[in-house]
A and B are shown apart, each in its own frame.
Chain A
Amino acid sequence: MSNRTKVIALHGGLLALLFALQFFLPAYHHGNLARIMVLASYAVGYNFLFGYTGLLSLGHALFFAAGMYGMGLTIQHLEWTPAPALLAGLVAGVVVSAALGMLALRTVGVAFMIVTLMFAQAGYLTILYFGEYTRGDEGFVIQQAQRVLWGIDLSDATNRYFAALVLFSVSMLVCLWLVRQPFGKTLVAIRENDERVKMLGYDTFAHKLGAVVVSGAIAAMAGAFYGLLFGYVGATFASVQYSIFPLLWVLLGGAGTVLGPFVGTLFMFYLIDLSSGITTAYMLIAGVVLVLLTLFAPQGLVGELRRRLWRWMP
């Protein structure tokens, strides 16, 4: 089997499995998996910048929230239908990430992390400041009647699962496609050695800006879908913990792998879910497992798999 066939089989297989699972899963896990797929899309967007381009952002909640509020506010205040509202979320994500990229990419390393973190905090405070429209921390609910996309009621569990699966498939396939294009390969080279890429005649700033925008757009789509599918928009999603989550998921799953974000999100979700069933000190269990993973699988679950077994994995 050629590498190309293996890549198609593995990723297609995962999507087929996710499609089939909905017929077997009990309602509780069915709902969880829909949520995980949306969050994993967010992680896919994050991984594009962190894993492939080597830029560690601590401000991705800003993009997630840009998508969520771009969608939510247009539905809530302009009475848009879901399709244009989702598009508004995407546009908001692209605009915000382009603006942030122009500013933050003037810095590198730790400074980049701090600048992105600060802008995300500024975004969070902006949402609170305009509480009249955004309802601040309390947030607002998107009513069932407002969540009908092309006649499909997204508050229905099966439809929601499908929508999440579509979002995740598109995000993952876009990412898989991009990293095999010259653009994606150049980003990997920038991760390895920025200066050298510049001296091969590439405009590394433009490439990194492109990566920020792609990453921000995917994160924004995830945010918009999250709000629409689960019917709630709130400032929590713009807070710093939502910037840290995708970093954790990607680190756990394997930075710079296409499947890593999904595996990391799934693992973390159920780690907290299961450990909180055992004890109220569930963060202690989660913490210990995370420490063990960092010690014994520093490249993440999928990263280790690739290093030890499947070297062909993208």
Chain B
Amino acid sequence: MTLLSTRGLSKSFEGLRAVEGVYFDLPPGQVRALIGPNGAGKTTLVGMICGRITPTSGTVQFDGRDITSMAAHRRINLGIAYTFQITSVFSGLAAGENVALAARRRLKGADVRPAVENALNRMGLLKLIDQEAGDLSYGHQRLLEIAMGLVQKPRLLILDEPTQGLADSEIADFKTLIRELAGETTILLIEHNMSVVMETADQVTVLNFGEVLAEGTPDEIRANRDVQAAYLGTG
């Protein structure tokens, strides 16, 4: 039983192979980290999963359905939520309205507000609900981005480098959050911070030059010689 699987998924940009024949399976309820050096194709792979990028070949299946050629917004409505690597909250709108926009796909009318407050509260941003998102600190914008993901109650939550630019205390809170969410939803986490990966992920997939280099538990990955050579830098 898998929630998400890709079969031979590839993408070339004018001859440059960003992702090459990736077979990837994600069972429901798992927290999976996707790691790899810069340019390994992590964001491209995830982009193909959520529909921002059209694959050159291969298929994507979500919950038993082939979604390879489905438009991005329809995939989101199937229960995939994606938070952006580069913070892209709506800076001219209030923090609450940012989250409300995400919530209104699922909820209507009076149900929106409590869900928004709940999501913001979970990220510790409730007191900033009426602040314009552009006025928030960078760290708070990152957290707001995650709140926008949470409020969608997704079946698959894709977080693209969520801890980038967060302070240490915020990273600690983030780890707690992921562990809490682990029972509720499936999480695909692109992450550079190894302590976050090691402490939160059930399984880790390592990409290198667009291909899957290794897959396993955090401990197995840490012990894997190929991974050490390619990525962890202790070859």
Contact = CB atoms under 8 A, between A and B. Distances in A.
Interface in B31-85: 50, 52, 71-74, 76-77, 82, 84
A193 to B, nearest CB: 6
B91 interface: yes
A201 B152 contact: yes
B88 interface: yes
A189 B92 CA distance: 9
A192 B84 contact: no
A271 B72 CA distance: 48
Interface in A196-211: 196-204
B198 interface: no
B76 A201 contact: yes
A278 B137 CA distance: 53
A42 B76 CA distance: 37
B105 interface: yes
Interface SS of chain A: helix
B88 A193 contact: yes
A186 B73 contact: no
A277 interface: no
Interface in A281-297: none
B222 interface: no
Interface string A85-120: 000000000000000000000000000000000000
A200 B97 contact: no
Contact of B76 (A188, A192, A199): A199
B77 A192 contact: no
B11 to A, nearest CB: 18
Contacts of A182: 104
Nearest to B112: A182
B73 A196 contact: no
B90 A199 contact: no
A45 B73 CA distance: 28
Interface in B91-119: 91-93, 97, 100-102, 104-105
B90 A192 contact: yes
A269 B162 CA distance: 52
A290 B228 CA distance: 64
Contact of A196 (B84, B100, B105): B84
Nearest to B77: A201
A185 B97 contact: yes
B76 A195 contact: no
B93 A192 contact: yes
Contacts of B100: 185
Contacts of A197: 101
B9 interface: no
Given A200-B105, A201-B105, A189 B73 contact: no
A202 B93 contact: no
Given A186-B101, A189-B101, A196-B84, A201 B93 contact: no
A185 B93 CA distance: 9
A237 B231 CA distance: 66
B105 A192 contact: no
B157 interface: no
Contact of B73 (A185, A192, A193, A201): A201
A200 B90 contact: no
Contacts of A189: 90, 93, 101
Contacts of A185: 97, 100-101
Given A185-B97, A193-B88, A199 B52 contact: yes
Nearest to B103: A200
A187 to B, nearest CB: 11
A188 B93 contact: yes
Nearest to B78: A201
Nearest to A192: B90
Contacts of B102: 200
A200 B148 contact: yes
B152 A200 contact: yes
B72 A192 contact: no
A200 B52 contact: no
B158 to A, nearest CB: 10
7 contacts: A186-B104, A192-B91, A192-B93, A193-B90, A198-B73, A200-B105, A203-B74
Given A186-B101, A201-B73, 18 more contacts: A182-B104, A186-B104, A188-B93, A189-B90, A189-B93, A195-B88, A196-B84, A196-B88, A198-B72, A199-B50, A199-B52, A199-B84, A200-B73, A200-B76, A200-B102, A200-B148, A202-B73, A202-B105
Interface of B: 50, 52, 71-74, 76-77, 82, 84, 88-93, 97, 100-102, 104-105, 148, 152
